[in-house]
Amino acid sequence: MTEPAPAPVPLERRQRHWRERATVVLAVLLLAWLTVAYLLLPAYWVHYAHRHPAFDALPRITRTGSDLPGDPLNVSLVGTEVELKGVLRAAHWYPADPLGWRSSLAIAEATILHRPYADAPVSSLYLFGRKEDLAYERPVGRDPRRRHHVRFWGTGQAYDDGRPVWVGAATYDRSVGFSHTTGQITHHIAADIDAERDGLFHDLEQTGRLTEVFFVNDFHPVHVGRNGGGDPWFTDGRLEAGVIAAAPGP
């Protein structure tokens, strides 16, 4: 005697079953990505950098929060903090917002909706054991994924006139994507850091507030490398420096 065929599973129940399975798979994949990108790969690359001097021996560069090599230093200015901020404002560069949840959500919204965000936050880089003292940027059109930006650190050194010496890393953000080394979401920089160095000083010289501009030759013995996000960079090895006109006394 032939057994009766099982009743077909209702379509709605099958769809609900597949939705539940798809949700579980997506959750597992997301957890795996977060673990690899933000825990395992940063630890691996720090270990790699410390064991292989050729990777860590790029001179005159910043460090990321994971202690990976960051962006190369390529600019320097002489002046007080007030004078430095003043010449950057006059050159139409804007101070970046502090990095936090609110500013991160704002830049995400601006990216999706193609809204300008002239003072979008920048990720922190480290020099002298601390993150940048100042961060400025100049937007490119309405796309916050692309921008000119520079970070400055006070060196603790004084110039001939007794005013502070600042050193900085100027780079151009060409896009947003995943880090080639950790998988984290980051801005990718353009490789020609000399073009960004020269562009910043062009803007600064247009203000008429620089009394002297000069190059420090052979600042970078190594002329090619990669930053902490895996982006390649190249340079002629020179640091461009400028002396800001002293603000009048009281």
Please list, in sequence order, all residues whose beta carbon lies within 8 angstroms of the beta carbon of residue 74, skipping any fewer than 6 positions away: 168, 169, 170, 193, 194, 196, 197, 219, 235, 238, 239, 240
Would you say 96 and 122 are in contact if contact means Cβ atoms under 8 Å apart?
Answer: yes
pLDDT band for position 210 (cuts 50, 70, 90): very high
pLDDT band for position 68 (cuts 50, 70, 90): confident
Q: What is the pLDDT of residues 12-27, one digit of tens each?
A: 776 777 778 888 888 8
pLDDT at 108: 53
- How many CB atoms are closer than 10 A to CB 42? 22
- Mean pLDDT, residues 22-48 taken together: 68
pLDDT at 96: 84
Between 148 and 42, where is the model more confident? 148
Distance CA 58, CA 70 (A): 10
Residue 241 has pLDDT above 50, yes or no: yes
- Secondary structure (3-state) at 196: helix
For residue 127, give Cα distances in angstroms to 9, 71, 82, 229.
63, 11, 21, 17
pLDDT at 40: 59
CA 133 to chain centroid, in Å, comes to: 14
DSSP β-ladder status, 69-72 and 75-78:
unpaired
- Mean pLDDT, residues 53-75 taken together: 71
Q: What is the pLDDT of residues 73-129, one digit of tens each?
A: 999 999 999 999 999 999 999 998 765 445 454 455 545 545 544 455 667 899 988
Distance CA 222, CA 58 (A): 6
Share of the chain above pLDDT 70, in %: 64
pLDDT at 43: 54
Distance CA 48, CA 194 (A): 28
- Mean pLDDT, residues 2-15 taken together: 63
- Mean pLDDT, residues 36-50 taken together: 54
Indicate the pTM of the whole model: 0.66
β-sheet bridge partners, residue 137: 94, 149
**Region of poorest pLDDT, from 4-13, 60-69, 168-177, 198-207:** 4-13
pLDDT at 136: 93
Distance CA 238, CA 227 (A): 18
Q: What is the pLDDT of residues 192-209, one digit of tens each?
A: 999 999 999 999 999 999
Q: What is the pLDDT of residues 156-165, one digit of tens each?
A: 888 888 899 9
